[in-house]
Amino acid sequence: MAPKNKNISNFQRYFSYPLQGLVAHLFFWLFSIMSIDRASAVGGWIGRKIGARASITKRARRNMERAFPEKSAHEIETILGDMWENLGRSIAEVPHIHKIEPGSDRLEVVGLENGLALKNDDKPGQFFTAHAGNWEVAMLLARAMDLEMMCVYRAPDNPWVDNIFSKARQGFKGEMVRKGPEGARKLTGFLRKGGHIAMLVDQKMNDGIAVPFFGRDAMTAPALAQFAMRYDAPAVPVRLERLHGAYFRMTFYPKIDIVKTDDRHADILKIMTDVNAVIEDWIRQRPAQWLWVHRRWPD
């Protein structure tokens, strides 16, 4: 299973990536033979112990300090520790996600009528969420609505690691589409036929548009707004929260307002500003559940 990316070195291709893949598969197997509650707890412990020592923690701390200038250094460090625990839990829960049933005591579903409204309106539709709680669990939204969908994801650079997530996503109802030109073509064709798509919209996109996020411009992918304008495809926010341990809540909110004027660029900026505001509100409520290690803002 050699990586297709031609820009990687032979060391990565034939040694580093396979070794990383071996370690990842080993942990996947270990967590899979545990119960989901035990795996989540062990993963959370590992995340909290190791995360604080990772060099990327500096970026997360800097992001938090800029987003929350009102918080003390102690509060920031507490959030950092909780973030790493949440991330460790999320990784350890991956082998069990396909077994989680929406609407069960493991995954509470709220506001499902907002999602079903898009399913039954005879138009294409969009659902968006963020890297919060356990975002892999959020991808069960299609199963919650019993709706075939396409979901956009960014594939890891290492194909051996990508293979693990492909196995775990067997619980998703529909097709997982890689982010990129080929994926964009698939999504476009699917929307034209009246299909529904889901995407994570809180990552930096270098060739995106500058949109306010925590009071600072962040380069943001405009695809959701472009699809909304071009295909009259409403967009429903879907929030995933970790309640405690490996128990979650999925909330479908009313669709965001889409207003078309004669200024298409201004319309797209307005839509994405509203989207970022929704995500920012979620993060402010549960800051430890967002993935702060992203390079979301320019330095």
Which one, of 145, 139, 227, lies nearest residue 186 by Cα?
227
* Residue that the structure tokens 């396979």 belong to: 18
Alpha carbons 228 and 234: distance in angstroms, whole number: 6
Q: Residue 152: what pLDDT?
A: 82
Task: Kindly state the tokens that stand for 250.
Answer: 């999925």
Low-confidence ranges of the chain (pLDDT < 50): 1-3, 14
Strand partners, 240: 250
Q: Residue 101: what pLDDT?
A: 94
* Eight-class DSSP state of 193: T
The torsion region of residue 129 among left (phi > 0), alpha (psi -120 to 50) and beta comes to beta
Q: Residue 1: what pLDDT?
A: 47
Give the SS3 label for residue 41: helix
Q: Write out pLDDT tens, residues 161-184.
A: 666 666 767 667 788 888 878 888
Q: Residue 271: what pLDDT?
A: 97
Q: Residue 171: what pLDDT?
A: 63
**Domain residue spans of the chain:** 10-285
Q: Residue 157: what pLDDT?
A: 67
Strand 204-213 and strand 235-244: the pairing is unpaired
Q: Residue 3: what pLDDT?
A: 46
Exposed, middle or buried, 184 (CB in 10 Å: 0-12/13-18/19+)? middle
CA 269 to chain CA centroid, nearest Å: 21
Q: Residue 206: what pLDDT?
A: 85
Q: Write out pLDDT tens, residues 252-292.
A: 999 998 989 999 999 999 999 999 999 999 999 999 999 99
Q: Decide: pTM greater than 0.95.
A: no
The end-to-end CA distance of the chain, in Å, is 37
